[in-house]
Amino acid sequence: MKTEERHFAEACAEQFQTVARKWEIEGKVTTIGTDSARNMIAAARILPYDHMPCIAHILQRSITVSLSDSGFVGALAKCRKIVGHFKHSPANTAELQVEQGALGQKQEPLIQDVPTRWNSTLEMVKRLIRNQAAIKATLDQQQHKLVMLTPPERDKIQRLETLLEPCRYLTKILGGEAYVSCSVVLPALCHLRRVMEVSDEDPAYVVRFKAKFQEDLASRQEHTNNAWLKIATALDPRFKDLKSLPKTDREAVWTTLGGMLRSPPRRSPHTEDGPPKKKMNILLQMGSDSESEEEVQPDRAIHRYRAEPTTSMEDCPLQWWSSHAGAHDKLAPLARKYLATPASTVPCERLFSVAGHIVQKKRSALLSENVVKLVCLSNWLKDE
């Protein structure tokens, strides 16, 4: 939606509510996902929805902070100069491709990293490692003033690849849009903390990187919606054992879930004032006269669900709830609500990238409604 206002928190919140009203989804929205920008966080506080900070942005900041305060800075600076030598010269790039072909390698360009995308640093390092023989053969034929990586520096960037590869894998999983991702956040972060544990074989610069990463990630995780993430994890039949949480925190999650079952559901804006008289009489006749039974029922519902076996990692939790909704009718609506929340805003950013390819200088006369249609069609065709 086009806006002439500056992106203050109040203006952003109002724009979102305008879109929600236009699409008639005010009563269907449960959470709002944003990046870590202060105005977005402030806007989320104004809105009447639960705020879900983007986990991909949290990882981005933690990795960037850790890289800036580590022993990889010098080696990465050399990597950027080597990549720049080829990126700025089509002739150098062509010579590199010849050497890649001679060595039987895939002819791929080198990638220059950008500060706003840590995964570009990983991809730069990976391609330099893959093509180091072709790069050396090309530079041996040229007159240049490049300072090449020393053996210790090559070892450093190989260790950096090992450190960042698990982060790339988890970011890819948490950035999906065709499957449940919200319930994967806490297990993924738990796995990442184990990967980043210091070992006796780690050199000092790796120890410093891991320690800084653990510290920064822990501080940022405190500002995520941990309460929502814990419930989502519990309602995912793959992770309901809650092994990603400390043992002391697990029972509290089930207690909170039981409290949700006891509390009346939030009324939708479109809910009727009350059922017809006939339906009301039937409901009153069916109602239990035992308050203690009402207290026990939520506990029974949770106990039945916890007794179910955990499912495979490949299984879809929403499909599981669809086929088990009859047996767990009290929990199923909560599962749909919590598991439908995406873990990151990456899918939205992909859509913005599509819009950037469509709206260009030569197509600046496109009407706004036509841009919306083209973006939707492009995204739909991509999925097909």
Q: Which domain holds residue 70?
A: 55-224
Domain assignment present for residue 73? The answer is: yes
pLDDT above 90 coverage of the chain, percent: 63
Can you give the pLDDT at residue 2?
55
User: Are 160 and 79 contained in the same domain?
Assistant: yes
Residue 133 maps to a domain: yes
Q: What is the per-residue pLDDT for 157?
A: 95
- For 92, other C-beta atoms within 10 Å of its C-beta total 17
Cα–Cα distance between 283 and 274 in angstroms, integer? Answer: 12
Query: Where is pLDDT greater, at 327 or 284?
Result: 327
218 in the same domain as 163: yes
Res. 277 pLDDT band, cuts 50 70 90: low
Number of residues assigned to the chain: 384
- pLDDT band of residue 276 (cuts 50, 70, 90) is low
Q: Which of 196, 297, 190 is nearest to 239 (CA)?
A: 190
Q: Cα separation of 188 and 183, whole Å?
A: 9
Average pLDDT over residues 196-222: 94
Structural domain contains residue 272: no
Kindly give the interhelix angle for 118-130 and 73-87, rounded to the nearest 10 degrees.
70
Do 339 and 350 fall into the same domain? no
> Is 67 part of a structural domain of the chain?
yes
352: helix, strand or coil: helix
- 177 and 299 part of one domain: no
In this structure, the answer to whether residues 83 and 193 fall within a common structural domain is yes
CB atoms within 10 A of CB 235: 26
Quote the tokens at residue 229.
């993430």
Q: 41-55, 102-116, 272-286, 362-376: lowest mean pLDDT where?
A: 272-286
Among 16, 37, 53, residue at a domain's last position: 53
| 3 state SS of 330 | coil
Total domains in the fold of the chain: 4
Alpha carbons 175 and 193: distance in angstroms, whole number: 19
pLDDT of residue 93: 93
CA distance 267 to 228: 19
Q: Give the closest residue to 334 by CA, choosing from 269, 221, 254, 274.
A: 254
Q: Are residues 209 and 232 in the same domain?
A: no
Query: Does residue 285 have a pLDDT over 80?
Result: no
Residues 6+ apart with CB under 8 A from 357: 378
Query: In the chain, where does DSSP find H-type helix?
Result: 9-22, 38-46, 55-68, 73-87, 90-102, 118-130, 132-140, 151-174, 185-195, 204-221, 226-234, 247-262, 277-286, 291-307, 317-324, 332-339, 346-358, 368-383
Residue 280 lies in a domain: no
Kindly report, residue by residue over 339-374, the tens digit of the pLDDT.
Answer: 999 999 888 877 777 666 677 777 777 787 787 777
Calculate the alpha carbon distances from 15 to 5, 8, 51, 158 in Å.
10, 11, 16, 46
What was the pLDDT predicted at 146? 86
Please count the CA atoms within 13 angstroms of the CA of 260 that sit on its side-chain side.
21
Task: Find the mean pLDDT for residues 48-70.
Answer: 91
Residue 381 one-letter amino acid: L
Residue of 145, 244, 182 whose CA lies nearest to 55: 182
Same domain, 334 and 220: no
Residues 93 and 104 in one domain: yes
| Cβ atoms within 10 Å, residue 381 | 8
192 and 64, same domain (yes or no): yes
What does the pLDDT read at residue 4? 56
Same domain, 189 and 88: yes
Q: Among 320, 64, 304, which Cα is nearest to 183's?
A: 320
Residue 126, domain member (yes or no): yes
pLDDT confidence band for 35 (50 / 70 / 90): confident
Half-sphere exposure of 227 (CA within 13 A, CB side): 7
Say what the pTM is.
0.82
pLDDT (average), residues 180-189: 95
CA 156 to chain centre: 28
Q: Are residues 237 and 193 in the same domain?
A: no
Residue 271 included in any domain: no
pLDDT at 223: 86
Task: Verify that 82 and 218 share a domain, yes or no.
Answer: yes
* Residue 283 placed within a domain: no
pLDDT for 284 equals 47
- Collapse the DSSP code of 230 into the 3-class scheme (helix H, G, I; strand E, B; otherwise coil) and give the result: helix
Q: How confident is the model at residue 265 (pLDDT cuts 50, 70, 90)?
A: low
